[in-house]
Amino acid sequence: MTAPAARLEVRGITVRFAGLTALDDVSFTVEPGTVHALIGPNGAGKSTCFNVLSGVYRAASGSVAYGGREITGMPPHAVTGLGIARTFQNIVLTAGTVADNLMLGRHRLTRAGFAATALRLPGAVREQRRHRARAAEIAGFLGLEAHFDQPVGALPYGVRKRVELARALCAEPGLLLLDEPVAGMNPAERLETADTIAAIRAALGISVLLVEHDMGMVMRLADTVTVLDFGRRIADGTPEAVQQDPAVLRAYLGQEEAA
């Protein structure tokens, strides 16, 4: 039921906030089935780029196409409908259990309307049962089976981050956008999450675009890396090539000097 991975083409996107150019003519391509990292110093424009891709912000110019379909200007739910799901830098979960949150993730795939579900009509009940079984399967894949019926509010931070990832996967996306998936995690949790992301790609064949500050994680996982600095793309290539790029070294050195 997973949406097939398709090519994401970002062409010349520019975003301005009251005089500040957060993204300046940025282009890159995420090839189907690859892990692509978007990196750069603080304020480089990474989150802004994610917000454009997921329909939260509208670019002043440029285009974003997924599987050849123009998604520029689409609202977030329409972008999700095409098979693009995301997680957020700060955990965004609703009250209730892990299962409740994962069922929300399946919303785009649910056909029965609100009334049919509320009235517990047989077709709607069967459909809910099928979605719940798939949500439980995804929870198991992410090591969350023991937490499935627990309230998310009581869970440790690292587990809640995994719940967010599971919820995004519940939409059966072809492209997963992960905004700092290991931020705030301890080293063991970081390694575990890196392994999980690699396993997701291998098992589902989907594409992953991730924003991440943890360079070890980027180097371990990414096939391709795009580097932003002050809203501009300064490098794009394999992790090895990007790591040795003088413009990238200068950008990160500048950040250390400013710190």
Ligand X SMILES: Nc1ncnc2c1ncn2[C@@H]1O[C@H](COP(=O)(O)OP(=O)(O)OP(=O)(O)O)[C@@H](O)[C@H]1O
Q: What stretch of H or E contains 211?
A: strand 207-211
- Asked if 45 is part of the footprint of ligand X (rule: CB under 6 A), the reply reads yes
- Asked if 221 is part of the footprint of ligand X (rule: CB under 6 A), the reply reads no
Instruction: Compute the least distance from the CB of residue 47 to ligand X, in Å.
Output: 3
Instruction: Compute the least distance from the CB of residue 177 to ligand X, in Å.
Output: 13
User: Which of these ranges, 40-48, 80-88, 163-171, 217-225, lies near ligand X under the rule CB under 6 A?
Assistant: 40-48
Q: Which long-range contacts (CB under 8 A, 24 or more apart) does 66-74 make?
A: 66/6, 66/7, 66/8, 66/9, 66/175, 67/6, 67/7, 67/174, 68/6, 68/7
DSSP states of 113-164: -HHHHHTT-HHHHHHHHHHHHHHHHHHHHTT-GGGTTSBGGGS-HHHHHHHH
| Contact residue for ligand X among 42, 111, 115, 259 (CB under 6 A) | 42
- Asked if 181 is part of the footprint of ligand X (rule: CB under 6 A), the reply reads no
| Contact residue for ligand X among 8, 48, 171, 226 (CB under 6 A) | 48
CB-count burial class (<10 Å; 0-12, 13-18, 19+) for 80: buried
Q: Residues 217-238, buried b or exposed e (16+ Cβ, 10 A)?
A: bbebbbbbbbbbbbbbbbbbee
User: Which of these ranges, 35-43, 96-104, 239-247, 250-258, lies near ligand X under the rule CB under 6 A?
Assistant: 35-43
How many amino acids of this chain bind ligand X (CB under 6 A)?
11
Identify which of residues 22 and 170 has a Cβ nearer to ligand X in the complex.
Answer: 22
| Contact residue for ligand X among 33, 40, 67, 174 (CB under 6 A) | 40
Q: Are 138 and 188 in contact (CB under 8 A)?
A: no
| Contact residue for ligand X among 6, 28, 46, 171 (CB under 6 A) | 46
- Asked if 17 is part of the footprint of ligand X (rule: CB under 6 A), the reply reads yes
**Best CA proximity match to 229, nearest among 37, 38, 35, 13:** 38
- Asked if 22 is part of the footprint of ligand X (rule: CB under 6 A), the reply reads yes
- Asked if 32 is part of the footprint of ligand X (rule: CB under 6 A), the reply reads no
Identify which of residues 13 and 22 has a Cβ nearer to ligand X in the complex.
Answer: 22
Instruction: Compute the least distance from the CB of residue 104 to ligand X, in Å.
Output: 25
Identify which of residues 22 and 182 has a Cβ nearer to ligand X in the complex.
Answer: 22
Instruction: Tell me, rounded to whole angstroms, the distance of Cα 202 from its chain centroid.
Output: 16
What tokens does 116 get? 């049919």
- Asked if 47 is part of the footprint of ligand X (rule: CB under 6 A), the reply reads yes
What tokens does 147 get? 């937490």
Instruction: Compute the least distance from the CB of residue 195 to ligand X, in Å.
Output: 24
Report how far residue 4's alpha carbon sits from residue 126's, in angstroms, rounded to the nearest whole number: 25
Instruction: Compute the least distance from the CB of residue 185 to ligand X, in Å.
Output: 16
**Given the rule CB under 6 A, which residues bind ligand X?**
17, 20, 22, 40, 42-48
